[in-house]
Amino acid sequence: MHDASRSLYLVCYDVSCPKRLYRVHRFLLAYKIGGQKSFYECWMTPAELRDVRRTLEDLINPEEDRVHIFQLDPRMKSEGLGIATQPKTDVFLIL
């Protein structure tokens, strides 16, 4: 990814209610470039990050669920084992 306005984040979630879990999962699909199950790598602008935080706050129950958002260094090469694949960062389409 060559857009300087975007940063790489790892969004991780643990949601206890299946209905809320589905909503969080569906929402984050729009931002993910890689990951698995409840861990997604996401390239986001500051505005997108604010939107993700705000929306996730509305989707989860803070008494039962948790979400972590970690900023990653995109210069670092990721290491994979087994059937792990590198995230795809070559094409973005914004509608």
pLDDT digits (tens, 9 = 90+) for 8-41: 999 999 999 999 999 999 999 998 887 778 899 8
Q: Where do the domains of the chain lie?
A: 7-72
What is the identity of the amino acid at 15? V
**Model's pTM, two decimal places?**
0.77
Per-position b or e across 16-44, b if 16+ CB within 10 A of its CB: eeeebbebbbeebeebbbbeeeeebbbbb
Closest to 70 measured CA to CA, from 7, 22, 14, 26:
7
Q: Which CATH architecture has domain 7-72?
A: 2-Layer Sandwich (3.30)
